[in-house]
Amino acid sequence: MIQSLEELHQLAQEKRAQQDTFTQELRVCIGSSCASLGSNELQKELNQYVTQDESKKRCTTKGVGCNGLCSSAIMVSHYDKHKQKETLYENVTQEDIPALVNRFENTQALEEKLCDMNGSFFTKQKKIVLENAGVIDPDNIEDYIGKEGYLALFTALEELSPNDIIEEIKLSGLRGRGGGGYPTGLKWETVSKVEAEQKYIVCNGDEGDPGAFMDRAVMEADPHKVLEGMIIAGFACGASKGYIYVRAEYPIAVEKLNRAIKQARRLGILGTKIAGSGFDFDIEVRLGGGAFVCGEATALVASIEGKRGNPRQKPPHLSDQGLWLAPTVLNNVETFANIAPIIRKGGEWYKNIGTPTSTGTKVFALTGHIKNTGLVEVPMGISLQELIDDIGGGVQEGSTLKAIQTGGPSGGCIPKELLHTTVEYESFKAIGSIIGSGGLIVMDESSNMVEVARFFMEFCQSESCGKCVPCRVGTTELTQLLDKFVAKKATQSDFELLKSLCEVVQNSSLCGLGQTAPNPVLSTIKYFEDEYLKGICHD
Amino acid sequence: MMPISDDRYKMVDKTMKKLNYDRSALIETLHTAQETFGYLENETLKFVARKLRLPYSKVYGVATFYHFFRLKPKGKHTVVVCMGTACYIKNAKVILEKIEERFNVNVGETTSDGLLSLLSARCVGSCSLAPIAIYDNKAIGHLSLEQSLKEAQELIQ
């Protein structure tokens, strides 16, 4: 049990001292892409290799979360504590194990697998949410504490009032990272002011957008950071219970979170009288069931209550009537992961990153026809050009860029002419897309935009909960209309109908799913109208 | 009527007990039931309904609402083709169609010999490895068309 800030500092120091007995550390990425290539087995082998040899006892190995460059999986990083230098290797296989370890002495070995860490993939990123990804062992709470983990929580409990915390978050300018972009500080303030016996903190980890895996990586690489953000939110808003709603399709994230919760309970970081204060808070994980609509706030809450994920009309908002009708704060995984750094370093520090209206950083999942696929964190305000060309390495050789899809089924397609657009909530909205949760799919000339629009519409049709007519019937009709364009059998009046039906679905659906479902169609009509016209049959 | 002597029901009951037989335990319970039985049989749904004092229609409603729950048994082996956006633009659709054709099975169904179930996933979150499919528990990324068929063939042999 850690009873005070002082004891936390002490434990952190002990952990660091203990780690200092090892001079070399080999960190094997066990993120989803590396794991599917067998990184867990690689780490075991590597561990066996270094522990059986007496002379290599000063070396330790550990599995770490995703360090971003998934296209070069399996990634292994070597950290030399004396020189404080990190070396990264890509495409590592079992056969490389001896060379990997021998390289401590012989710098010639494995030269060809060396990854240039001075390249713009690394230098143009700014890591706050992912600061520990690729560095700490997510299964080890002490590793997290050694990296200033739970420092923000203990500082908050001993030195700050709930109001101070809310003011700090407001000052930081942090906005919801799940797609909505609502100011987090304001959301917390509203709930903190409601008088109620029971309030809840809910974390949305139901990453349903196809093509997005940011939250998965955060939960798997640094679960304690999510917990810390939630506990701080609980203290600030006067809540005593939290739920993390995670997709059942992410079993590793579920396992890591559950383990983290157990560890935190054991150290008295969750439970009653946390850190010797009068504050009680506990967290439970709830599994989702693969319903995209459950990313919608009211549907998510219904799902935690064990019901079908049908959204309901708002207001009342969750801040008044959320989970079991109690005032509820609902934030996304990435939003919660920003909280501890803000409390630790101050809202002023955070505000100075990014732009005045979109502060801080954003994590993106770069996928599609791009060279460096993977997970990146960039300061807001960076241009898409830099994100795609400098960090992403541009499109794959032999092809040219056509468009970028952001925001998943609720977002839009951005044509290559608009690459100068900066990553900000407002600027994306102005060109008919959204930042969304952070999936960024790069498409080359081979992609047919009408087919892409149809893909998303079919997705929304199948994910529509069926409660309201505009969404249930509208998405079905729209999919059938788009089928005609794909088959090149549409008529001019189909095109007019397509456009007006989009408007109807957008304006009259009950929840965000229906309201945003036409976005991919509208944005592709806006920028790639000729492809729709080609789908019209004139005889 | 109460098949409680079956150890598998005990597993399901354990989850409900942990959550005090509260009605909100329904989804968690169905997850456990599916993990234990492989799919959600009518009998299992009725058992859960009784224990949680919920109408059977509610339980059935929830079980059919969420894609993750299966009401039919799976084949001996499963291939899950990811149809997330990143995989889609890298021709996952063609892979799915070819597997359907070769093994004479529709997506979401099982071959008549019960050997192979073909499923599609919304997104498995390994978009860097697109196109990707999961063969039983093994994820294989950067799949070519031939490889996708070969892996499925090897699975059922």
Residue A485: pLDDT over 90:
yes
pLDDT at B57: 97
Residue B3: pLDDT over 70:
no
CA angle, residues A379, A384, A386, in degrees to nearest 5:
75
Q: Which residues of chain A neighbour B67 with C-beta distances below 8 Å?
A: 289-291
Give the position of tokens 């062992």.
A137
Residue A74: asked if its preceding bond is cis (omega within 30°), the reply is yes
What backbone phi and psi angles, to 5 degrees, belong to A446? -75, -10
Task: Give percent above pLDDT 70 in chain A.
Answer: 99
pLDDT digits (tens, 9 = 90+) for A197-251: 999 999 999 998 888 999 999 999 999 999 999 999 999 999 999 999 999 989 9
Residue B1: pLDDT over 80:
no
Inform me whether the C-beta atom of residue B69 falls under 8 Å from chain A C-beta atoms: yes
Quick check: A241 and A286 in contact, CB under 8 A? no
Please name which of A523, A447, A521 lies closest in space to residue A481, comparing C-alpha atoms.
Answer: A521
Q: What is the DSSP letter of A362?
A: E
Residue A64: pLDDT over 90:
yes
Q: Which residues of chain A neighbour B19 with C-beta distances below 8 Å?
A: none
- Distance from C-alpha of A241 to C-alpha of A279, rounded to nearest angstrom: 11
Each domain of chain B, given as residue ranges in start order, spans 8-65, 77-156
Each domain of chain A, given as residue ranges in start order, spans 23-120, 148-351, 361-444, 449-533
Task: Give percent above pLDDT 90 in chain A.
Answer: 86
pLDDT at A245: 98
- Distance from C-alpha of B122 to C-alpha of A69, rounded to nearest angstrom: 23
Mean pLDDT of A150-160: 97
Contact A36 B129 (CB under 8 A): yes
- Could you tell me the two tokens for A278? 């009068």
CA angle, residues A154, A156, A158, in degrees to nearest 5:
70
* Secondary structure (H, E, C), A427-471: HHHHCCCCCCCCEEEEEECCCCHHHHHHHHHHHHHHHCCCCCHHH
Instruction: Please name the member of A308, A373, A443 whose beta carbon is closest to the beta carbon of B127.
Output: A373
CA angle, residues A421, A423, A428, in degrees to nearest 5:
65
pLDDT at A367: 94
Inform me whether the C-beta atom of residue A288 falls under 8 Å from chain B C-beta atoms: yes
Residue A156: pLDDT over 50:
yes
Residue A57: which pLDDT band, with cuts at 50, 70 and 90?
A: low
Instruction: Please name the member of A211, A309, A452 whose beta carbon is closest to the beta carbon of B123.
Output: A211
Q: Which residues of chain B neighbour A288 with C-beta distances below 8 Å?
A: 66, 68
Residue B4: which pLDDT band, with cuts at 50, 70 and 90?
A: low
CA angle, residues A402, A408, A414, in degrees to nearest 5:
30
Inform me whether the C-beta atom of residue B90 falls under 8 Å from chain A C-beta atoms: yes
Burial of B4 (C-beta count, 10 Å sphere; 0-12/13-18/19+):
exposed
pLDDT digits (tens, 9 = 90+) for B100-154: 999 999 999 999 999 999 999 988 888 888 999 999 988 899 999 999 999 999 9
- Architecture of the domain spanning A361-444: Roll (3.10)
Dihedral in degrees, nearest 10, Cα atoms B106, A292, B81, A461: 40
Q: Which residues of chain A neighbour B60 with C-beta distances below 8 Å?
A: none
For A449-533, the fitting CATH number among 3.40.50.2300, 3.30.2130.10, 3.40.50.1980, 1.20.1440.230 is 1.20.1440.230
Residue A311: asked if its preceding bond is cis (omega within 30°), the reply is no
DSSP-assigned letters across all residues of B109-127: SB-TTSSEEEEEES--S-G
- Could you tell me the two tokens for A72? 């070069």
CA angle, residues B11, B13, B16, in degrees to nearest 5:
120
Inform me whether the C-beta atom of residue A304 falls under 8 Å from chain B C-beta atoms: yes
CATH topology of domain B77-156: Glutaredoxin (3.40.30)
**Cα B49–chain centre separation:** 21
pLDDT at A53: 73
Mean pLDDT of B67-71: 93
CATH superfamily of A23-120: Glutaredoxin (3.40.30.10)
Residues 6+ apart with CB under 8 A from B157: none
Side chain identity at residue A219, one-letter code: M
Quick check: A122 and A67 in contact, CB under 8 A? no
Residue A456: pLDDT over 70:
yes
- Architecture of the domain spanning B8-65: Orthogonal Bundle (1.10)
- Architecture of the domain spanning A148-351: 3-Layer(aba) Sandwich (3.40)
Residue A309: pLDDT over 60:
yes
pTM of the model: 0.96
pLDDT at A54: 67
**H/E element, A203:** strand A200-205
Residue A506: pLDDT over 50:
yes
What backbone phi and psi angles, to 5 degrees, belong to A175? -120, 155
Residue A292: which pLDDT band, with cuts at 50, 70 and 90?
A: very high
Contact A213 B125 (CB under 8 A): yes
Quick check: A133 and A363 in contact, CB under 8 A? no
Residue A166: pLDDT over 80:
yes
For B130, which residue in chain A has the nearest alpha carbon?
A: A368
The average confidence (pLDDT) of chain A is 95
Instruction: Please name the member of A70, A290, A456 whose beta carbon is closest to the beta carbon of B67.
Output: A290
Residue A194: pLDDT over 70:
yes
Chains A–B, number of C-beta pairs less than 8 Å apart: 130
Mean pLDDT of A462-478: 97
Q: Which residues of chain B neighbour A455 with C-beta distances below 8 Å?
A: 85, 88
Angle between the B7-18 and B26-37 helix axes, to the nearest 10 degrees? Answer: 160
- Distance from C-alpha of A69 to C-alpha of A67, rounded to nearest angstrom: 6
pLDDT at A82: 83
Give the position of tokens 């021998």.
A102
- Could you tell me the two tokens for A185? 């500080």
The average confidence (pLDDT) of chain B is 93
First vs last C-alpha separation in chain A? 78
CA angle, residues A340, A341, A342, in degrees to nearest 5:
90
Q: Which residues of chain B neighbour A32 with C-beta distances below 8 Å?
A: 124-126
- Distance from C-alpha of A268 to C-alpha of A157, rounded to nearest angstrom: 13
pLDDT at A33: 86
Contact B128 A33 (CB under 8 A): yes
pLDDT digits (tens, 9 = 90+) for A354-399: 999 999 999 999 999 999 999 999 999 999 999 999 999 999 889 9
pLDDT at A55: 67
Mean pLDDT of A43-55: 85
pLDDT at B79: 96
Residue B88: which pLDDT band, with cuts at 50, 70 and 90?
A: very high
Contact A405 B130 (CB under 8 A): no
* DSSP helix, strand, coil percent of chain B (3-state; round to 5): 50, 10, 40
